[in-house]
Each structure stands twice: as structure tokens, then as C-alpha cells.
């Protein structure tokens, strides 16, 4: 477990040197879980379970059945997503390969480095997606057109 976290952190450092991220860099991270008859407890720490400094936290809730969210890529923003409640899928795409991650436990997080196209779908009723980001909200960081994403990816610009 510890070795795995270290590898994610090493990849984050390598990214600074402009290495293009692929779906292989997306990681499910198992979080600490304290089971307790009074109710369970889990937590996350920046630069530990989350391999970046957290600049922003937001959450997605009350998603109507059949809706999708987040069809875009980030240029710089790394993310970490937890299904705090319920379940949903995150589909990650690097322009060549696509991978689906089913999040359905509150003690797993999904680390998605910047430079990948990602979509969220199949939200269960009352699901709650908690997201941590490595930069403040900046619309200029979004790539919202998939064709443009493919172009940026093939030019090594993202």
C-alpha cells in the first residue's frame, strides 16, 4: 500500500516535466477505514492518500437519473474523487484508451491526473460525489471539446 502511494507521488512529479498522462496513471486509492459499531470512519490527507496539495473541494449531488456530468479534460487540475454516498462510474480517456471505474464505496478514492478526458455517469439515487482539486476554479483550465482534446493530446500539449 505504502509503496503504491509513493509511486503515484513519483508520477505526479514526473508530470511536472510534461509527461503525457494515460489511463494507466489513474489510480484507485484505498483509504483508511475504522469500522465501528457506532458507525465507520474514513479520512483523506493531502500529499498522502491524495498525491497533491488540495486547493479546492466541491461535491455533486441531487443528480437526476440518466444525467452525465463532467465531459471535459483539465489542463492542470489533478483530481481525486470519492463516492461518499451511493455509486457512479467515472470514465477516463487518454485519446487512445478508455477505462471505466465504478465508485461505490466511501473508502476508495479515484486519482485522476490532469490531461485526461473524464465523464461521470450512472449515478445512483442520492449519490454524493466529493471531489478534490489541485488548483482553484479556472474555466480556462477546462478543455470542453473532445476533438480539441485529441488534438492537444496528439501534440503533447496536455
**Residue 56 within binding range of ligand TYD, rule CB under 6 A:** yes
**Residue 33 within binding range of ligand TYD, rule CB under 6 A:** no
**Residue 137 within binding range of ligand TYD, rule CB under 6 A:** yes
The smaller minimum CB distance to ligand TYD, of residues 61 and 137, is found at 137
Q: With contacts defined by CB under 6 A, name the span among 16-24, 67-75, 79-87, 95-103 that binds ligand TYD.
A: 67-75
Contact 120, 90 (CB under 8 A): yes
Sign of CA dihedral 113, 116, 117, 120: negative
Strand ranges, E, within the chain: 27-30, 33-34, 41-42, 56-60, 69-74, 79-85, 88-93, 98-103, 108-112, 117-121, 128-133, 142-143
Rounded to whole angstroms, the Cα distance separating 142 from 129 reads 19
**Residue 127 within binding range of ligand TYD, rule CB under 6 A:** no
Rounded to whole angstroms, the Cα distance separating 149 from 60 reads 24
**Residue 75 within binding range of ligand TYD, rule CB under 6 A:** no
* Shortest CB 2 distance to ligand TYD, Å: 31
* Shortest CB 120 distance to ligand TYD, Å: 7
Among 72, 76, 105, 151, binds ligand TYD (CB under 6 A): 72
Instruction: State the cell numbers at 156.
Output: 503533447
The smaller minimum CB distance to ligand TYD, of residues 43 and 137, is found at 137
* Integer CA distances (angstroms), 126 to 31, 67, 97, 119, 143, in order: 22, 13, 30, 19, 29
* Shortest CB 110 distance to ligand TYD, Å: 15
**Residue 43 within binding range of ligand TYD, rule CB under 6 A:** no
**Residue 69 within binding range of ligand TYD, rule CB under 6 A:** yes
Q: Tell me which residues touch ligand TYD (CB under 6 A).
A: 56, 58, 69-70, 72, 137
Amino acid at each position: 500500500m505504502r509503496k503504491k502511494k509513493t509511486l503515484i507521488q513519483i508520477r505526479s512529479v514526473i508530470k511536472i516535466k510534461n509527461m503525457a498522462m494515460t489511463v494507466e496513471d489513474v489510480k484507485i486509492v484505498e483509504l483508511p477505514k475504522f469500522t465501528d459499531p457506532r458507525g465507520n470512519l474514513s479520512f483523506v490527507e493531502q500529499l498522502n492518500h491524495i498525491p497533491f496539495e488540495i486547493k479546492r473541494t466541491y461535491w455533486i449531488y441531487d443528480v437526476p437519473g440518466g444525467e452525465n456530468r463532467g465531459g471535459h479534460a483539465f489542463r492542470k487540475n489533478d483530481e481525486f474523487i470519492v463516492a461518499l454516498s451511493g455509486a457512479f462510474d467515472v470514465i477516463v480517456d487518454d485519446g487512445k484508451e478508455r477505462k471505466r471505474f465504478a465508485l461505490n464505496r466511501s473508502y476508495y478514492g479515484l486519482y485522476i491526473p490532469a490531461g485526461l478526458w473524464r465523464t461521470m455517469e450512472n449515478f445512483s439515487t442520492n449519490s454524493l460525489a466529493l471531489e478534490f482539486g489541485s488548483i482553484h476554479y479556472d474555466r480556462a483550465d477546462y478543455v470542453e471539446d473532445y476533438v480539441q482534446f485529441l488534438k492537444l493530446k496528439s501534440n503533447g500539449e496536455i
